[in-house]
Amino acid sequence: MGSALFYHLTRSPAEALVPVLVGKSRAAGWRIELRGTEAGRMQRLDELLWQGDGFLPHGIAGGPHDARQPVLLTVGGAQTAANGPACLIAVDGAEVEAAECAALERTCILFDGNDPAALEHARGQWRGLTKAGVAAEYWSEGGGRWERKA
């Protein structure tokens, strides 16, 4: 069973961490699903990934070559992405199910610690996933760099 890593964003936005996590996951040889809740937000992340420091090949779900994309940006709930990911990166409160975590190498859940609703949603995800037996880690950037807290 894969693990779920929760990233508590307090100093930087998800846009700063997503390219780092995508790069590390690609370096591990994994295909990635980047899951959000709104098409407009995923369009902005699409632009970010094209304009970043390194080339991160990707596509937005719904295209003719979804299965070949190393990184596939999706909107919606838990479903198997067409690219057969080994890693799921969830932003903006996108839903993640325990069964998905079991089938993946890693699940990364990014949440805005300055938004009380996002914080409470992440806490609910933590409780639900750990209750279902998913190993979870909590990462905080509170000290200015990412540190594993639990």
pTM: 0.93
Statement: residue 58 has pLDDT above 70:
yes
Sheet holding 71-75, edge to edge: 59-60, 71-75, 32-36, 87-90, 106-112, 3-9, 135-140, 147-148
Model confidence over 17-53: pLDDT tens digits? 999 999 999 999 999 999 999 999 999 888 888 876 6
Model confidence over 7-26: pLDDT tens digits? 999 999 999 999 999 999 99
Q: How would residue 78 be classed by pLDDT, with cut points 50, 70 and 90?
A: low
Q: Are 138 and 35 in contact (CB under 8 A)?
A: no
Number of neighbours of residue 73 by Cβ within 10 angstroms: 25
Give the three-class secondary structure for 8: strand
Q: Are 7 and 108 in contact (CB under 8 A)?
A: yes
The domain segmentation of the chain, as residue ranges, is: 3-148
Model confidence over 128-143: pLDDT tens digits? 999 999 999 999 987 7
Query: 3-148 has which fold?
Result: Rossmann fold (3.40.50)
Beta bridge partners of 12: none
Number of neighbours of residue 67 by Cβ within 10 angstroms: 12
